[in-house]
Chains A and B, each alone.
Chain A
């Protein structure tokens, strides 16, 4: 399904989105008024605003939609959602689309939001708690060692300030604290993923 070619303006891709994207069944309800596009505070950063993405989905532009970085721009301000005259959960659809594109491996490489989210997730599922120190360092060093040092130096004063204020514990570098039942957490996430994969037709 995910690999099949979609003909233009047939409902194939729309159906794929309805099936696999969170809140995707709302896409068909858009009436192209454009209030979402105009309401987005990051609007000018979007190559395709939400309403246009919805139209592209209906037009069967699978590749263009899933490789787009537009939905990665969403900051969850919910302006579009409260204003949408059809009450589409636009924010959720944007995240759903981004997640789906990511799972398919079609999301743009190096897209900062995507990378950050990946690091966040990987960090989180290790022990069930976000380790802020290792997460920050991972972010600083994601573009190489030299850049990482530069980033770290730039953030030096903030980091020290956080340590002084006891908001950051340097000892967390050793692994840090986590949830009590870590095995249980892993099992839970594995099960969730299995269910999601089964529902959305991912093989792996």
Chain B
């Protein structure tokens, strides 16, 4: 490692958590050089230590696996672990960063075999379980650790343990003399993604975290609930190991507290709501959770989750900040003391366990930093300097989804610096296309005997099989294939022997990707390590079946590789790098401007005659900079002026989209102008920033809308204040001066079916609390004698919004926790009737003006999931926004409540239409600060989309994949299954109803390949044959051998990694299975199943991701399609005279490390019961 690898074209990302990884990957997938520096020995950060994410209850490591795969497949990112930035000097475009790299004492040769750990006896507290248990002093941080290399704790260096570790290592990976290194890097831009740390709970004295064993923190509780955590997933009391069924969750432990953290940490309410479901998961109806809270801040569509938890009979809520905790010495119970403020009820409630929802403290707080970095009142980075940017929780207290969004935006800001420095605008990455035109196929197989493979199985026999059965032209054995000499052997063969197809029989395809990186040849990896020797017991009894397994994987690898080609990239790629933005509000303008600043030409289409959107109607905005005290200038006029003047932005006002044709890189968009004329713009990608419409307050007559002119919505108030033009605001009813204003929060929002049959919006719009405070300030700042009251049920001002709340109170805005029952006109004023929830009584108040905080309704166009006959019945027909000329509908699919959001927590921009991104409130309800971030992130994704399209490669989640679907039209029967089933609307139909593949819209999941009944769709390196030949290649023992063969088709995103990790943890499973990774269960063609069964396989296990509303499938509905297809396989089985149990489907999560071996063993037992397949020997 030297300074020479980095230049002023390089982006340095500091912090390897999810935000840092995202920032690094987004830039790298745009062709930029990135250095990702992480302080710890592994990437993944805090999210890797969470058990599940809210609100989907999915597993964080699932997204981590995708991000790691992106990283392994991308040569633009250099990862430095155990590296800390100690100094940065220079200026934008020309920084010099000094990094200190702590010694790991283990070098790149490490194969993660674990021998060193077995040899060491010293144990240290495990920081990855927050010290709840101990681990060996030679350790792999966790199952998903990347780089997959062990670490020696400095405490054993110079001790016999250190020597023992060194002696145990067979590959010479341990270097006890390793020293701290200091390196200097030249970089052009820096992204600070330094994240957060849990607030030190011991500082909250009344809660006794440092005194009572049964008071733990929320992050510790995550580890406790994780099956791979210190208690194996059991919720136990630390004091006595008793099952903890009655759990208290204490909100705002440190947050919203001027004695501790000033800000609201935003995530904790949702985290505790989520954790109540861990309690339910563990104990069912016997569990009991109590949440002690001040305000439940379940913002935007997280409200659904809150409502769901409220309906859970095992969960109760107490509106109270707990005063103190004492531990009952006899029972070990923790007794919580306090007062339920809703009606004043004093409690002293015993619980088994108290979980403190500890706040987020920025990691960077208190660290010495370059002078340019300005921290805000809470220690978050407010501004980082000209060429330095902050990302994720270094910026603010953010949940994962928002952190990723924020990091994506930061990535673009860094790219802008790089592009300007280089003077290469819209440069994009250098095209690293696939191999040149393939010479004649020459095959080679490499059999590794390292990591104990040679001791467990006969590699000589495997080599013989590769040669004889696999027909490999070259076969070589190597003692450690991933080391320099091994890699060199392969390289030499590629060069000197003109080898074009290689099989590597060593470790899993997920391991040692840096060493086995041969992009110019076709490569198959036979998983002998994780899949065979690590998953089989090491005893003589199992030796024979273990060898059979290894032999079969070699046969399969050889069969597969011969059917593979090196992908050459989509030949129909187009290189238009212009980007069109629909919507000229703050989001749209921001997207356009950020892309233009990065050097991309932009077309901005706005329906109205002026830029600015709703924001232009605002008098002021909620502040986004410290001290977060006063309404700020909206900046809309300035933004609009910059957009209008920018040479790279073409404006179309009074225009709408008449038609959108094409695909990423070659969209052709007809723009209808006011005059009736149509102009066509050719672009490479689209951003839909069409914003929102305020919820129609006329639907709220009970809140006085339409009954009194003095009842207005938030935009109505902005108009009144604007009309007053600095003078006193007048009552609409009679022009009298306004002396009192009541703001009613959640008007027509957070409306669940139970109470009002879901007449209004079910979600929370997120911004309205702060907006009402801002509007109350309009009055208070002008005349403190005007009474302004905000009526709320939960005041939701997350992050530094808490400062704004305080400022409102300081200015005399009063806040009443109450529920409004009615607003009536009373003469020239209004009468508001409500229940005061603190004083627990009904009350009325007279007000000159009532402002209803109604929510945001997304302008998302046509809901393509509503059947046409239902659309016909609708009163007002929805108008399409994009008018996509796609077979699958005119607009983007909506996720929930009309918002065009991504379903994925880790990937907030994944719309289901490639190259088309949603930004701003059309994606999710949000305030202006967030909309600006969101629009910048969407701009990043759009830029990436045009870059990918121009190189003919896939977008997320198989980003960089150069393979593309190839269809043999002469065999096509026009059945339309591929066009219907494609989750991304990539396939249209021509006049003759043949499929038209728009490869740049394709995400390469292979669902079309799985759907095709005549098997005419394939990818160069993944086809019906690459898998089919593997199925046929295995050695099939006869009916009387008592050795059944079970085929596992495992999703490569979740199930296959779970199998790998089961191996890593030496969880044994049946030797009768043979696993084949598939891109997605949706790509499974039923021919594989019938071929397998005809070929004598005794059973087929299909392992895919969760389907349904909370699907985990990375390709939206691949697993659902597979399940649908398999529901029909029973008939085929019956025709073949086979038991239906011979094909089984499973939903497997990436964390099912214990469950997968269990499933396999149970299924093997079942096959034993059913008996061997009668089909053997006929194939």
Binding site for B on A (CB under 8 A): 7-11, 14, 28-29, 31-35, 37-39, 43-44, 48-49, 51-52, 55-56, 58-59, 61, 82-83, 85-87
Give CA–CA (A44, B345) in the complex, Å.
Answer: 10
Write the nearest CB–CB distance from B746 to chain A, whole angstroms: 17
- Residues in B824-851 with C-beta less than 8 Å from chain A: 836, 838-839, 843-846
Cβ–Cβ contact A52 & B838, under 8 A: yes
Write the nearest CB–CB distance from B347 to chain A, whole angstroms: 8
Give CA–CA (A28, B784) in the complex, Å.
Answer: 13
Residue from B341, B816, B817 having most chain A Cβ neighbours under 10 A: B341
Give CA–CA (A162, B502) in the complex, Å.
Answer: 102
Cβ–Cβ contact A38 & B324, under 8 A: yes
B815 adjacent to chain A (CB < 8 Å): yes
Write the nearest CB–CB distance from B969 to chain A, whole angstroms: 67
Write the nearest CB–CB distance from B52 to chain A, whole angstroms: 29
On chain B, the residues within 8 Å of A39 by CB distance are 206, 323-324
Contact residue range for chain B? 35 or more
Write the nearest CB–CB distance from B793 to chain A, whole angstroms: 12
Cβ–Cβ contact B320 & A38, under 8 A: yes
On chain A, the residues within 8 Å of B789 by CB distance are 9
Cβ–Cβ contact B740 & A8, under 8 A: no
On chain A, the residues within 8 Å of B814 by CB distance are 11, 14, 28, 58
Give CA–CA (A44, B320) in the complex, Å.
Answer: 16
Q: State the 5 A-B residue pairs at the shortest beta-carbon distance, nearest first.
A: A38-B323, A38-B338, A37-B339, A33-B321, A85-B257
Residue from B256, B340, B740, B787 having most chain A Cβ neighbours under 10 A: B787
Question: Could you name 15 residue pairs across A and B whose Cβ atoms are closer than 8 Å?
Answer: A11-B787, A28-B810, A29-B806, A31-B795, A31-B815, A34-B320, A35-B323, A38-B339, A43-B339, A55-B839, A58-B814, A82-B259, A85-B256, A85-B257, A85-B260
B72 adjacent to chain A (CB < 8 Å): no
**B832 (CB) vs chain A CBs: closest residue:** A9
Task: Out of B258, B322, B844, B846, name the residue touching A86 (CB < 8 Å).
Answer: B258
Cβ–Cβ contact A32 & B252, under 8 A: no
On chain B, the residues within 8 Å of A82 by CB distance are 259
Write the nearest CB–CB distance from A131 to chain B, whole angstroms: 40
Residue from B339, B346, B838 having most chain A Cβ neighbours under 10 A: B339
On chain B, the residues within 8 Å of A86 by CB distance are 258, 806
Give CA–CA (A9, B320) in the complex, Å.
Answer: 23
Cβ–Cβ contact B809 & A59, under 8 A: no
Cβ–Cβ contact A32 & B817, under 8 A: yes
Cβ–Cβ contact B339 & A85, under 8 A: no
Task: Out of B320, B809, B812, B836, name the residue touching A33 (CB < 8 Å).
Answer: B320
Task: Out of B337, B340, B346, B816, name the residue touching A58 (CB < 8 Å).
Answer: B816
**B322 (CB) vs chain A CBs: closest residue:** A38
Cβ–Cβ contact A44 & B346, under 8 A: yes
Task: Out of B337, B787, B817, name the residue touching A10 (CB < 8 Å).
Answer: B787
Cβ–Cβ contact B339 & A9, under 8 A: no
Residues A34 and B256 in contact in the complex (CB < 8 Å), given A39-B324, A51-B341? no
B344 adjacent to chain A (CB < 8 Å): yes
Cβ–Cβ contact A85 & B839, under 8 A: no
Write the nearest CB–CB distance from B808 to chain A, whole angstroms: 9
Residues A37 and B816 in contact in the complex (CB < 8 Å), given A8-B843, A55-B839, A59-B839? no
On chain B, the residues within 8 Å of A83 by CB distance are 206, 259, 323
A-B contact count (CB 8 A): 109
Residues A49 and B812 in contact in the complex (CB < 8 Å), given A10-B787, A35-B323? no
On chain A, the residues within 8 Å of B338 by CB distance are 34-35, 37-38
Residue from B252, B789, B805, B814 having most chain A Cβ neighbours under 10 A: B814
Cβ–Cβ contact B344 & A33, under 8 A: no
Write the nearest CB–CB distance from B377 to chain A, whole angstroms: 15
**A43 (CB) vs chain B CBs: closest residue:** B346
Cβ–Cβ contact A29 & B810, under 8 A: yes
Give CA–CA (A34, B292) in the complex, Å.
Answer: 11
B201 adjacent to chain A (CB < 8 Å): no
On chain A, the residues within 8 Å of B817 by CB distance are 32
On chain A, the residues within 8 Å of B815 by CB distance are 31-32
Give CA–CA (A37, B341) in the complex, Å.
Answer: 8
B109 adjacent to chain A (CB < 8 Å): no
**A10 (CB) vs chain B CBs: closest residue:** B787
Give CA–CA (A10, B257) in the complex, Å.
Answer: 28
On chain B, the residues within 8 Å of A59 by CB distance are 816, 836, 839, 843
B319 adjacent to chain A (CB < 8 Å): yes
Cβ–Cβ contact A11 & B346, under 8 A: no
Give CA–CA (A87, B817) in the complex, Å.
Answer: 21
On chain B, the residues within 8 Å of A37 by CB distance are 323, 338-339, 341, 344, 346
Beyond A11-B814, A32-B815, A83-B259, 12 additional contacts (C-beta under 8 Å) are: A8-B844, A11-B787, A14-B814, A28-B812, A31-B256, A31-B294, A32-B817, A34-B340, A38-B324, A38-B338, A55-B838, A61-B839
Give CA–CA (A86, B810) in the complex, Å.
Answer: 11
Write the nearest CB–CB distance from B272 to chain A, whole angstroms: 16
Write the nearest CB–CB distance from A85 to chain B, whole angstroms: 4
Residues A33 and B206 in contact in the complex (CB < 8 Å), given A9-B816, A11-B812, A39-B323? no
Write the nearest CB–CB distance from B539 to chain A, whole angstroms: 61
B204-218 Cβ-contact flags toward A at 8 Å (1 or 0):
001000000000000
Write the nearest CB–CB distance from A90 to chain B, whole angstroms: 13
Residue from A39, A44, A61 having most chain B Cβ neighbours under 10 A: A39
Write the nearest CB–CB distance from A118 to chain B, whole angstroms: 29
On chain A, the residues within 8 Å of B839 by CB distance are 52, 55-56, 59, 61
Cβ–Cβ contact B339 & A48, under 8 A: no
**B339 (CB) vs chain A CBs: closest residue:** A37
Write the nearest CB–CB distance from A37 to chain B, whole angstroms: 4
Cβ–Cβ contact B787 & A87, under 8 A: no
**A18 (CB) vs chain B CBs: closest residue:** B812
On chain B, the residues within 8 Å of A85 by CB distance are 252, 256-260, 321
On chain B, the residues within 8 Å of A8 by CB distance are 843-845
- Residues in B186-208 with C-beta less than 8 Å from chain A: 206
**A52 (CB) vs chain B CBs: closest residue:** B344
**A80 (CB) vs chain B CBs: closest residue:** B323
**B742 (CB) vs chain A CBs: closest residue:** A9
Cβ–Cβ contact B294 & A55, under 8 A: no
Write the nearest CB–CB distance from B317 to chain A, whole angstroms: 13
Write the nearest CB–CB distance from B829 to chain A, whole angstroms: 12
Give CA–CA (A52, B256) in the complex, Å.
Answer: 20
Give CA–CA (A59, B787) in the complex, Å.
Answer: 12
Residues A9 and B810 in contact in the complex (CB < 8 Å), given A37-B344, A43-B339? no
B297-337 Cβ-contact flags toward A at 8 Å (1 or 0):
00000000000000000000001111110000000000001
On chain A, the residues within 8 Å of B845 by CB distance are 8-10
On chain B, the residues within 8 Å of A34 by CB distance are 319-321, 323, 338-341
On chain B, the residues within 8 Å of A11 by CB distance are 787, 812, 814
B788-818 Cβ-contact flags toward A at 8 Å (1 or 0):
0100000100000000011001101011110
Cβ–Cβ contact A32 & B323, under 8 A: no
Cβ–Cβ contact B843 & A33, under 8 A: no
Write the nearest CB–CB distance from A204 to chain B, whole angstroms: 28
On chain B, the residues within 8 Å of A61 by CB distance are 839
On chain B, the residues within 8 Å of A55 by CB distance are 816, 836, 838-839
Residues A33 and B810 in contact in the complex (CB < 8 Å), given A9-B843, A39-B324, A85-B321? no
**A44 (CB) vs chain B CBs: closest residue:** B346
Write the nearest CB–CB distance from B323 to chain A, whole angstroms: 3
Give CA–CA (A141, B586) in the complex, Å.
Answer: 76
Cβ–Cβ contact A29 & B809, under 8 A: yes
Give CA–CA (A32, B817) in the complex, Å.
Answer: 9
Give CA–CA (A31, B803) in the complex, Å.
Answer: 12
Task: Out of A7, A33, A44, A56, name the residue touching B341 (CB < 8 Å).
Answer: A33
Cβ–Cβ contact A28 & B809, under 8 A: yes
Cβ–Cβ contact B344 & A48, under 8 A: yes
Task: Out of B324, B341, B787, B812, name the residue touching A32 (CB < 8 Å).
Answer: B341
Give CA–CA (A176, B323) in the complex, Å.
Answer: 46
On chain B, the residues within 8 Å of A32 by CB distance are 294, 341, 815, 817, 838
Write the nearest CB–CB distance from A47 to chain B, whole angstroms: 9
